[in-house]
Amino acid sequence: MPTTQPRRSSMTGGERFAVRDPATGEIFEDAPDQRPDELDAVVGRAEEAWRGWRADPAARATALLAAADAVEAAGADIAPLLTREQGKPLAESYAEIARTAARLRYFAELAPGPGPQPITDGRPVHGEIRWRPLGPVAAIVPWNFPLQLASAKFAPALAAGNTVVLKPSPFTPLATRLLVSVVSAALPEDVLTVVTGHEPLGARLASHPGIRHVTFTGSVPTGRAVARGAAASLGRVTLELGGNDAAILLEDVDVERIADRLFWAAFRNCGQVCMAVKRVYAPARLHSDVVEALARRAKAAVVGPGLDPGTQLGPVNNAPQLARVEGYTARAVADGARVVTGGHRLDRQGHFYAPTILADVPPDSPVVTEEQFGPVLPVLPYGSLDEAVEAANDTGFGLGGSVWGTDLDRAGAVADRLECGTAWINHHAELSLAQPFAGIKDSGVGVAGGLWGLYGNLRPFVVHRPEAA
């Protein structure tokens, strides 16, 4: 069911689409529904702006630091808007804004980026690499962390000297538009622009001949479509896609000690986190303790509108996603699973779903093999550790995974066997701004984060000499 209907606004005369508050399910605002043909002008201006922006790394760093201050100063305007359209608790909206400002500062400080680097193969230096920006970058992001994911793309791209055209999800266009107006006020015109609207807007942006790098975060099928589109211009593609992260609990785990952390690693942002814990594997001996510890936390979690003080879990962001979550639970039950707690919508207005713990789930039920992306967690028993590692790796995804236990060396040895981009020990889904983030298999292509994120937005330009000068 589409939740965002196009309509004409009397205020602007342009086509607009409705934005719903997931805490009520009702329309509360609208946003411009830009046509794909409007993109030519936007990308053209981004190309023009690039000429000046790429020229002065020191000025870029200064502007990005000013943008970071402006984002912080605008927090009280942006955060409630993000909560209204996304659903998350207000404190989490503020956390997205803080992360955005921190990321702008981090990449401003990495700017002007890697300087000339000598090339040598052991003999005298015979050349150097000078890192150059790529040109206009398209950044396409989903609705779960609209600001954080947008800034993960635009901060390194801008610091590297590129211009950026950003497209948020039609479910969450508003806070992004406000953020871009705040950031871009600190930058030269058209260095960072935002476009909002329905498909084929994103498809057109991903395949636009003026775009030199498409950096996309979203689902696997859309990621494949983006890669196919970008093939037309042979631009660079970075894809951060879905995940089905497993958490393996070891025999020596202290269940009560880790249960809070494990619960929130699965349920934060209502489980709508690419690298959330989406399956738990517990030793058969501890399985019922783990199920019980997680179920207690699920029952105690305060579910409500994100703007209510005290809310810990907001609504699911949109009606199709809620239907998807319900579908996974219904199918698991049909497959023989037991609903330990939750398993239903809350009897109130809005897209609320009770935090759900499932036991006795057959390992081939889709809630185990696919990405539920919602507040539903299957807990599976295992016999031998080899069996657990094999089950954790038996997925088309390869984003993250975690191992939980008391003996850290042993946990580290098990983590080493996980086939994914990031393996955590005794926590999950924590990222430093400085670390590389790269899913394998269907979870992605390319590397984001840290210096690697900066290089992802640069190309090597080599000046080669016959011998050392």
Distance CA 267, CA 294 (A): 11
Distance CA 377, CA 259 (A): 13
Q: Pick the binder of ligand NAD from 140, 337, 340, 388 (CB under 6 A).
A: 140
Contact string (CB under 6 A) for ligand NAD, positions 363-382, x = contact: --------x-x---------
| 194 touches 177 (CB < 8 A) | yes
Give CA 235 to chain center in angstroms. Answer: 22
Q: Pick the binder of ligand NAD from 243, 306, 350, 375 (CB under 6 A).
A: 243
Would you count residue 148 as binding ligand NAD (CB under 6 A)? no
Catalytic annotation, pick one of 92, 96, 240, 326: 240
Contacts of 174 by beta carbon, 8 Å cutoff, 6+ apart? 19, 29, 31, 81, 82, 84, 85
CB closer to ligand NAD out of 40 and 390: 40
Structure tokens at 420: 């994914």
Contact string (CB under 6 A) for ligand NAD, positions 393-412, x = contact: ------x-------------
| 348 touches 369 (CB < 8 A) | no
CB closer to ligand NAD out of 191 and 214: 214
Annotation says 370 is catalytic: no
Would you count residue 218 as binding ligand NAD (CB under 6 A)? yes
CB closer to ligand NAD out of 152 and 388: 152
| 236 touches 71 (CB < 8 A) | no
Would you count residue 83 as binding ligand NAD (CB under 6 A)? no
CB closer to ligand NAD out of 243 and 315: 243
Burial zone of 199 (CB within 10 Å; 0-12 exposed, 13-18 middle, 19+ buried):
exposed
Would you count residue 142 as binding ligand NAD (CB under 6 A)? yes
Strand partners for 164: 137, 192
Strand partners for 26: 21
Q: Pick the binder of ligand NAD from 4, 144, 184, 312 (CB under 6 A).
A: 144
* Number of residues lying near ligand NAD (CB under 6 A): 30
Candidate segments 51-59, 60-68, 197-205, 323-331, binder of ligand NAD by CB under 6 A: 197-205
Residue nearest to ligand NAD (CB): 202
| 446 touches 239 (CB < 8 A) | yes
**Closest C-alpha to 417, from 385, 380, 383:** 385
| 29 touches 85 (CB < 8 A) | yes
Q: Which of residues 303-322 bind ligand NAD (CB under 6 A)?
A: none
Rounded to a whole number of angstroms, the minimum distance from the CB of residue 24 to ligand NAD is 21
Strand ranges (E), 284-412: 338-341, 356-359, 376-382, 400-404
Q: Which of residues 425-444 bind ligand NAD (CB under 6 A)?
A: 439, 444
Would you count residue 240 as binding ligand NAD (CB under 6 A)? yes
| 267 touches 298 (CB < 8 A) | yes
Rounded to a whole number of angstroms, the minimum distance from the CB of residue 467 to ligand NAD is 45
CB closer to ligand NAD out of 21 and 240: 240
Would you count residue 225 as binding ligand NAD (CB under 6 A)? yes
Distance CA 189, CA 21 (A): 32
Region of residue 430 (phi > 0: left; psi between -120 and 50: alpha; otherwise: beta): beta
Distance CA 230, CA 239 (A): 11
Whether the link from the prior residue into 112 is cis, omega within 30° of 0, is yes
Strand partners for 16: 7, 32
Would you count residue 212 as binding ligand NAD (CB under 6 A)? no
Rounded to a whole number of angstroms, the minimum distance from the CB of residue 326 to ligand NAD is 16
Catalytic site positions = 240
Contacts to ligand NAD by CB under 6 A: 140-144, 149, 167-170, 199, 202-203, 206, 217-219, 222, 225-226, 240-243, 274, 371, 373, 399, 439, 444
